[in-house]
Amino acid sequence: MPALRLTLALSLGLAAPAALPANHTEERYYSILVDGRETGQARLKIVEQDDGSAYVAANASVKITGLFSYTFQVEGQEWWKKGKLIGLKCFCNANGKKCEMVAGHDGMNLRIRVNGQDRVSRDDLWTSSFWKLADAKFHNKQVPLLAVDNGEERTGKLDYVGTERLTVANLPVTCYRFRVTGAGVPIDLWFDQYHRLVRQEFTDSGRRTIIQLISRR
């Protein structure tokens, strides 16, 4: 219910997401830094319709050389309808370990196939692309997560931290900061007024990784 979501948002000190034009298309470009050094890039293309549906195409690549060598590539597409995931296609190669995942809605549930193995799941999963903020019903509560790199489902905790101002393309942007815990390493996420991803930060195996928005159009 829109009114309920607005009430929840305001109770957390959040504004409702700013209205976007019908049939709105946006591209976002991110820099990926590991231990302060740029090691890759990511791109998001978001197409939103006035009927509440959204299509997202994303890709990211990372290459680290030296004593610690690592490569990562992912390409994915997501289809959403009124806040629910109704379709997904994703291919990931993480240091030679490959994962291919597809998902589609059958009218009642989300059916997921990961490397040829089928299962049925809930359709209110939040994908680890994190391109948009999870539904308000998950704020400061448990949130079901679908990892786009390996197809795993986990339950984390999504906590609202507060508002912060970040600089994007030399312009200040007021962001909502959230933290995901309990589903692997803790992840900090920053979202703008449209509840779209601006920054992601986490530390894994002692390496600090930052995914930072650098431009959009």
Q: Which residues make Cβ contacts (< 8 Å) with residue 36, sequence separation at least 6? A: 208
> pTM (2 decimals)?
0.87
Instruction: Give the chain's end-to-end CA distance (angstroms, integer).
Output: 31
| Residues constituting the chain | 217
Average pLDDT over residues 69-97: 94
Which CATH number is 2-216 given?
2.40.360
More confident residue, 7 or 54: 54
Task: Please report the pLDDT score of residue 23 as a whole number.
Answer: 78
State the Cα–Cα distance between residues 112 and 29, nearest whole angstrom.
Answer: 28
**Domain ranges (residues) in the chain:** 2-216
Tokens of 174: 């007021």
Tokens of 12: 């957390």
Would you say residue 181 has pLDDT above 90? Answer: yes
Task: Please report the pLDDT score of residue 15 as a whole number.
Answer: 52
